Chains A and B, each alone.
Chain A
Amino acid sequence: MSAISYAGVSFGYPDGPLALDDVNLEVPAGEILLVIGSSGSGKSTLLRAANGLVPHSTGGRFGGDVVAFGRSTRTHRPRELADVVGFVHQDPEAQFVVDRVEADVAFVLENLGLPEAAMRRRVEEVLDALGIAHLRDRNPATLSGGERQRCAIAGALAAAPDALVLDEPTSQLDPQGAEDVFAAVGRLNADLGTTVLLAEHRLERAAPLADRAVTLSGGRITTAPGPTGAVLADYPGAPSVTRLGRVLGWDPPPLTVRAGRTFAAAMDRHPEPSADAPDPATRGEVMLRAQGIGVALDRRPVLHEIDVEIHRGEVVALLGRNGAGKSTLLRILGGLLASDAGRIDPRPTTAYVPQDPNTLLFASTVRAEVTETLRLLGRHDDGAVNRWLEALGLEDLADHHPRSLSGGQRQRVAIAAVAVGGAELLLLDEPTRGMDAASRHALERAIAQHAREGGAVVLATHDVELAARCATRAIVLGDGEMVASGPAASVLAGSLFAPQVLRVLPPFLTVEAVAAAMERT
């Protein structure tokens, strides 16, 4: 039996082009279906249509029919589907109604008018199912991202819906938070048979979980639903272990590091790493030297005795778990925060891009947003504007409104808007959050180009794949102290931070390096 079925669904937002174009899709009961596609491909719209948020809360032109468990969204509003379809949004902060976790979980039950005894039982079960019983009296605002998102899932799940719709549930989370959320989703599916419709950009964890996948592009289904491995084989944003499998001709393409290792062990000859690795001794001149940096926020020590040197032409990845002090160090290097101890000398011109690009964007077009920075600095340089728009692949979007763009595109606009000022040192805070493959490639290109032209870049990131692909050096922070520092390859190797390719086929860090080695042999 199919849980949710889309029959010839077309949809256009008010005054917009078609976001969905004749979509036919069946989601069988009990399945985890992964919806993949680049930003703006219609993933969110497809998911929102499952419980009628599209078109009931968006307006617009809607054609075709979506039927969830025998109820058509044409005749049922989202609130009338609350007992069969649970919906979880990508922003964990924006979905709490009540300031206590337990009461928030019960919110849907009160709305549906369940008897009090049934409510009590249901809430307890859901708190246990998601492992958040110890958080029941907390205010959601005080929780970590992963905890918050699990609470949000509990809020959607309390009504015991037969299907759960998750719109990029981990795009705002750190790896640990993402891990927790996916573990919970997998358990729900396995234990309760909940049907899951999941959209995600970061596929390393989502792909092994899914039964089937479907790709979407321009509002149309481009690859019909099929086994996840087969669908991902041709997808540019596939996890790096899958792309590695593609390069080495492994079949079926592995989705997990474990599957990849099995293939690697069966290889008769491993590719040879190239000998001409860049020598760290030939680094450029010192651009920034920070010594003995220490700072306390709210009387809590955040950084302690940090020494950092940044050389020209370097890309430094700053790794560490949430709360380890990455953002704080970045803000100190950027001169936005004064440190309590230590000194920075020399200090180059810096540009800091905040984690949330939305704090920056206010102009009416992308080009105006980038030009604005130069205007504020009292300069006029169309050449620089064009150069940065091009470097980040934003030429085609130059006349769009920044707010109409996807998260990854907005992040690129924010980087261009800050970098255009001509700073030598770029400081990027978690730049790949919510980015699709195209945005990531554009970002990596821009980072490499800036370093090549004599600048330097520091990235605070959870994204080890990004670090593996563009960093020359890596620094690991733990509890406000420097835990490791050195060439990216040696810091990443053997740590829990290792990227997938390194775990499958050491000492290679990236698929590109493996492909180059294969060509040489």
Chain B
Amino acid sequence: MAWLAWAIAGAATVQLAPSPVYVALIIGIAWLIVEVHAPDGPYRRAFPALLAVGVVFALIRVVISALTAHAGIDVLMTLPEVTVPRLLGGFTLGGTVEAGVVLQSLSEGFAIVGMMAVFGAFNAIASHYELVQSSPRAFHELGVITTVALAFVPSTIESVSAVREADRARTGGQSIKRGRILRSIVPVLERGMERAVALSESMDARGFGFAGSTRGDLAAGWCGLGALLALAAAFVALVGRARPAAIGLSVAGIALLVAATAFASGRTRDRKRYRHRRMAGIDWAMVACALTAPLLVGLLGFGGEDSLVWHTTPLHWPTFEPLVALALIPLLVPLTRLPSAARRTDIEMPEPELLPTAAPVAGS
């Protein structure tokens, strides 16, 4: 959970200080933390991929705004223009491409990459299952299913490369393009299906869903779904820079629904959890530290610090204020910590000597 707080703090800081200078610093911090803390595995390897996704989004954004936003100054080049019919919005596509607009959207796009870096770092470090364990009872089943589905992604990628190699093997090493999609997709899907069936059998045989759900669970489930939707709405409102009223409304909605969820699931019996990690003092310290970063940056913003946001008209280099960089230091705090106990790094240890008789396992 401490990592969740770190991720929220990081994301909030990116929002508060979207100037490329500071975003670059935050991406650096996220990268460093992944290098130090992330256990080796598919999620760690997914970190660069997530960054790449962020870059693609950012570039799309640059192209769209270069084509649609026009102010008429610092023109780079002029393209033929089309005005969309009024019914569809009536804006102009093409026309002048302006340096200010391009740089502005580039910097906004870079902020998206920054968000992806923070999210990617969180994804690489936090144990998804632990996160599910900490979620309210009502989300538990849904959460387990989601983590299982996530685990299928790397195995499917592996499967695709094996199938492609098998396809080349069939024709003695040469690859034949015709019909290759079908030849690849069918085995991948069928392998996935067989694996999914085996997994569902294994889960069933291990008592998944043994407890069944009560009416309280169901109520909590619906409230939780509502809260998730409200969260999505709030995110869209934030990214879209909607009016404060809309943001406030969705935040209020989230608060209300989360409270309802907690109330509904609080009335059902407690779910037993194995080695449920409670927040220790050091975790709270980490949360507090991480949250000071956006707080400090926010304070600087109120105090009239104008290097936080980079305005590209008139054209000038983004400015750097050492004070803001200092305010980002709390985000580095997790580096000083040892990896959490539940996520010790994978160290090869020698096979222990086995005792001839194991301790008797207690009957249930």
Contacts and interface: CB of A to CB of B under 8 A. Distances in A.
Contact of B361 (A51, A85, A192, A351): A192
Interface string B343-357: 111100111101101
A110 B165 CA distance: 41
Interface string B168-197: 111111001011001100110011001100
B127 A100 contact: yes
Nearest to A137: B344
A111 B187 CA distance: 33
B103 to A, nearest CB: 39
A360 B155 CA distance: 17
Nearest to B343: A137
Contact of B362 (A78, A118, A141): A118
A358 B190 contact: yes
B274 A109 contact: yes
Given A98-B147, A111-B208, A359-B159, A159 B364 contact: yes
Interface in A316-333: 331
Interface residues of A, number: 90
Contacts of A100: 127, 129
Residue picked from B130, B154, B171, most chain A C-beta under 10 Å: B171
Interface in A80-119: 80-83, 85-87, 89, 91, 93-100, 102-103, 106-116, 118-119
B231 interface: no
Contacts of B354: 128, 131, 187
A134 interface: yes
A373 B341 CA distance: 53
B183 A336 contact: no
Interface in A56-79: 56-57, 77-79
B41 A192 contact: no
A141 B171 CA distance: 31
Interface string A353-383: 1101011111000000000010011000000
A336 B168 contact: yes
A134 B359 CA distance: 17
Interface residues of B, number: 75
A209 interface: no
Contacts of B168: 336
B166 A359 contact: yes
A116 B361 contact: no
Contact of B203 (A97, A103, A113, A335): A97
A86 B155 CA distance: 25
A192 B360 CA distance: 6
B165 A336 contact: yes
Contacts of A142: 40-41, 346
A188 to B, nearest CB: 8
A246 interface: no
A352 interface: yes
B87 interface: no
Given A99-B41, A99-B129, A359-B159, A138 B346 contact: yes
A139 interface: yes
A359 B191 contact: yes
A334 B207 contact: no
Contact of B210 (A113, A122, A133, A187): A113
A359 B168 CA distance: 11
B236 interface: no
Interface stretch (A415-423, A474-482, A490-498): A415-423
A269 interface: no
A191 interface: yes
Nearest to A51: B205
B225 interface: no
Interface string B254-285: 00000000000000000111111000000000
Interface in B309-364: 343-346, 349-352, 354-355, 357-364
Contacts of A349: 172
A326 B274 CA distance: 41
A361 B191 CA distance: 10
A125 B364 CA distance: 14
A125 B209 contact: no
Contacts of B357: 191
B175 to A, nearest CB: 10
B164 to A, nearest CB: 9
B206 A129 contact: no
Contacts of A157: 361
Interface in B143-165: 144, 147-148, 151, 154-155, 159, 162-163, 165
Nearest to B167: A360
A287 interface: no
5 contacts: A77-B204, A107-B208, A125-B361, A359-B163, A421-B172
Nearest 6 A-B pairs (CB), nearest first?
A82-B207, A106-B274, A335-B173, A362-B186, A94-B198, A95-B202
